[in-house]
């Protein structure tokens, strides 16, 4: 604990290039879910701070330094920010682990490089966004300009705080927008630190403002603020719907990345050893607090028993441990409330008739922390609540299927459509099933792969719009058509 405090300072808001207290002077305490102890106090943004941040962003955008800067210079600054994130990966990884409870292996080795990768990738786009010359009528010279939207409000969840900063801010900034970022109240620390690094990289004041605070207060004020042109949101479907409704009053553009209940489908002809590994990481990576978690495992009947036996054995070996230990692969859930919700779903599953074959219990480490065992529920029917509702924890629901038709039908029988996995050695089957699955991402003989260059987002109730890849730049730009009479 002493060591922990030595590496964390009180968190401030970042508005117009300065670290400041909230206008009200209010703070909140961010907690370490592995030890149940406080990490530090953080300034709590309210509506007045949102207004200041939006005005600073507007000023930087409307004829300010960001708008006037040559794209090559914007590219250089964003690339430098990617470098700084890598240079500070130890510090950022540690902050993320303290705040979120995820293993340091994930936050240091995967999340920090992924966040950096976003800034490196999108930096390159700053110099490549262009309109088109469209010769539609001989009497006119006609072309389009691809322009930024203005001020983007980014509202992000607690499961991948650092990565979400990269997913949202890198493309928005590369396209020439200014950003007001609200990290989740549970995990504000890495967003604040990246905000500081952005200033060090040379981002002019006001271009990236960071407002830790409550969603129902600071987030709500951002969505209602007429000076915000667009909200890019990742979080729950419930809050996403609310944002869409509230944003309508000021005709906000909205991108929503919401929940999931993704099917990971194992055919009998798969490399079963690889599929067991893929099913395990598909659900237990990130403690299952992953929007795209392969939380419904669909297994072909003929290999079901053998597969589930191997899976249960593997899950039992995945023991919760100190997230700061580099060997740990299962950390603490983010909060007591999340742990209670997850354990409640295990009970629900059992009472619905599912069979618990691994885990199912809280397992404190050193007597503390919101740790939950890697849990496998077998004999789940796809209509049960544990198969239809997002649990957002290390709980896998195993469902049998008989053939391709049955697999596709059950796979798509969900309100969500974020991701899916397919395990087979038959290349025709892989392509055919990938086409038929209603999901924004399909992994074949793999699970949970991401890259800044590959679009990611949902079908159905998992939202609309895309993060990452060239596709995401459409979300942060608008097109102007210019007609010049040449007669
Ligand atoms: P939410 O409760 O929806 O929170 C997400 C963000 O919205 C937080 O910053 C939250 O602030 C804020 N918020 C809450 N109420 C708000 C309001 N009225 N107006 C504006 N902002 C508001 O989700 P969560 O529990 O943090 O995250 C888990 C969910 O995110 C899961 O459903 C998961 O599937 C989804 N998720 C989706 C994806 C993709 S890419 N689709 C990726 C990761 C997570 P506070 O937390 O400070 O209250």
318-351 pLDDT tens trace? 999 999 999 999 999 999 999 999 999 999 999 9
Domain boundaries, given as residue ranges, for the chain: 5-258+462-482, 263-451
Q: How far apart are the first and last CA of the chain?
A: 76
18-20 vs 441-444, strand pairing mode:
unpaired
Q: Is 40 a catalytic residue?
A: no
Cβ(191) to ligand 1 under 6 A?
Answer: no
Best substitution site from 236, 337, 395 to test ligand 1's pocket, by max atoms within 8 Å of Cβ?
236
421-464 pLDDT tens trace? 999 999 999 999 999 999 999 999 999 999 999 999 999 999 99
Cβ(289) to ligand 1 under 6 A?
Answer: no
- Do 5-258+462-482 and 263-451 have matching folds? no
Torsion angle of the four alpha carbons 286, 292, 297, 299, in this order, in degrees rounded to the nearest 10:
-130
Residue 63: per-residue pLDDT:
83
CATH number of the structural domain 263-451: 3.40.309.10
Is the pLDDT at 1 greater than 80, yes or no? no
Cβ(239) to ligand 1 under 6 A?
Answer: yes
Q: Is 257 a catalytic residue?
A: yes
Cβ(188) to ligand 1 under 6 A?
Answer: no
Rounded alpha-carbon distances, angstroms, from residue 426 to 404, 412, 478: 12, 21, 42
227-248 pLDDT tens trace? 999 999 999 999 999 999 999 9
Confidence of residue 352 (pLDDT cuts 50, 70, 90): very high
97-137 pLDDT tens trace? 999 999 999 999 999 999 999 999 999 999 999 999 999 99
Nearest one of 241, 240, 242, 342 to 290, comparing CA atoms: 342
Query: How does the average pLDDT of the chain come out, rounded?
Result: 97
Is the pLDDT at 178 greater than 60, yes or no? yes
20-59 pLDDT tens trace? 999 999 999 999 999 999 999 999 999 999 999 999 999 9
Q: Report percent pLDDT > 90 for the chain.
A: 97
Going by CATH, does the domain composed of 5-258+462-482 fall within 3.90.580.10? no
Q: Tell me the two tokens of residue 99.
A: 């705040």
392-424 pLDDT tens trace? 999 999 999 999 999 999 999 999 999 999 999
């Amino acid at each position: 604990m002493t060591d922990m405090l030595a590496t964390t300072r009180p968190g401030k808001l970042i508005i117009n290039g300065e670290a400041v207290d909230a206008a009200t002077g209010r703070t909140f305490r961010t907690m370490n879910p592995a030890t149940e102890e406080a990490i530090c106090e953080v300034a709590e943004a309210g509506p007045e701070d949102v207004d200041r941040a939006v005005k600073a962003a507007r000023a930087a955008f409307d004829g300010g330094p960001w708008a006037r800067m040559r794209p090559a210079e914007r590219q250089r600054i964003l690339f430098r920010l990617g470098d700084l994130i890598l240079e500070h990966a130890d510090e950022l990884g540690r902050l993320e682990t303290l705040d979120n409870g995820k293993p340091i292996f994930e936050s240091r080795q995967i999340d920090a490089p992924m966040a950096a990768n976003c800034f490196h990738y999108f930096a390159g786009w700053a110099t490549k966004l262009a309109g088109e010359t469209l010769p539609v009528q001989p009497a006119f010279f006609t072309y389009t300009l691809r322009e930024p939207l203005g001020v983007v409000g980014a509202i992000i969840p607690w499961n991948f705080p650092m990565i979400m900063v990269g997913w949202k801010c890198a493309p928005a900034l590369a396209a020439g927008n200014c950003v007001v970022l609200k990290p989740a109240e549970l995990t504000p620390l890495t967003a604040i630190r990246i905000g500081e690094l952005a200033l060090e990289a040379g981002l002019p004041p006001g271009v990236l403002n960071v407002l830790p605070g409550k969603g129902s207060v600071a987030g709500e004020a951002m969505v209602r603020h007429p000076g915000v042109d667009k909200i890019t949101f990742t979080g729950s479907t419930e809050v996403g719907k609310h944002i869409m409704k509230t944003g309508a009053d000021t005709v906000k553009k909205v991108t929503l990345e919401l929940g999931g209940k993704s099917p990971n489908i194992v055919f009998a002809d798969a490399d079963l050893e690889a599929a067991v590994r893929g099913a395990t990481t598909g659900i237990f990576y990130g403690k299952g607090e992953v929007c795209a978690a392969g939380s419904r495992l669909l297994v072909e009947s003929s290999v079901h028993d053998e597969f589930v036996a191997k899976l249960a054995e593997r899950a039992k070996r995945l023991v919760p441990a100190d997230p700061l230990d580099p060997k740990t692969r299962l950390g603490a859930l983010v909060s007591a409330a999340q742990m209670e919700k997850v354990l409640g779903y295990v009970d629900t599953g059992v009472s619905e008739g599912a069979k618990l074959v691994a885990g199912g219990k809280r397992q404190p480490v050193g007597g503390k922390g919101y740790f939950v065992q890697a849990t496998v529920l077998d004999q789940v029917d796809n209509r049960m609540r544990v198969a239809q509702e997002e649990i957002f924890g290390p709980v896998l629901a195993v469902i049998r299927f008989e053939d391709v038709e049955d697999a596709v039908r059950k796979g798509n029988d969900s309100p969500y459509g974020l991701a899916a996995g397919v395990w087979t050695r038959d290349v025709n089957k892989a392509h055919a099933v990938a086409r038929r699955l209603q999901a924004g991402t399909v992994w074949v003989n793999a699970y949970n792969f991401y890259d800044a260059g590959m679009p990611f987002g949902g079908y159905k109730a998992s939202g609309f719009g895309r993060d990452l890849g060239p596709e995401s730049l459409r979300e942060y730009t608008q097109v102007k058509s210019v007609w010049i009479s040449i007669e």
